[in-house]
């Protein structure tokens, strides 16, 4: 994604940055998420975020 899209005052979509990865790892390292998705591994690691 090469652009930012303002959808509303409260939500903004933008390209992922490496500084986002710790929060992504924290959110996706939930066993319930892994059990209810087809492709998110558990445990979800920082390397998984980099590979994505």
Q: What are the domain boundaries of the chain?
A: 15-51
pLDDT of residue 49: 87
Between the two ends of the chain, the Cα-to-Cα distance in Å is: 14
pLDDT of residue 5: 66
Q: Does the pLDDT of residue 1 top 60, yes or no?
A: no
pLDDT of residue 10: 73
Q: Does the pLDDT of residue 51 top 80, yes or no?
A: yes
Residue-wise pLDDT for 3-47, tens only, equals 766 666 677 778 889 899 999 899 888 888 888 888 888 899 999
Cis peptide before 31 (omega within 30 of 0): no
**Radius of gyration of the chain, Cα coordinates, nearest whole angstrom:** 13
Strand partners, 6: 12
């Amino acid at each position: 994604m090469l652009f930012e899209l303002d959808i509303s005052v409260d939500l903004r979509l933008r390209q992922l940055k490496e500084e986002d990865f710790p929060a992504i790892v924290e959110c996706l390292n939930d066993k319930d998420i892994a059990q209810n998705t087809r492709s998110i591994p558990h445990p979800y690691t920082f390397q998984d975020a980099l590979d994505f």
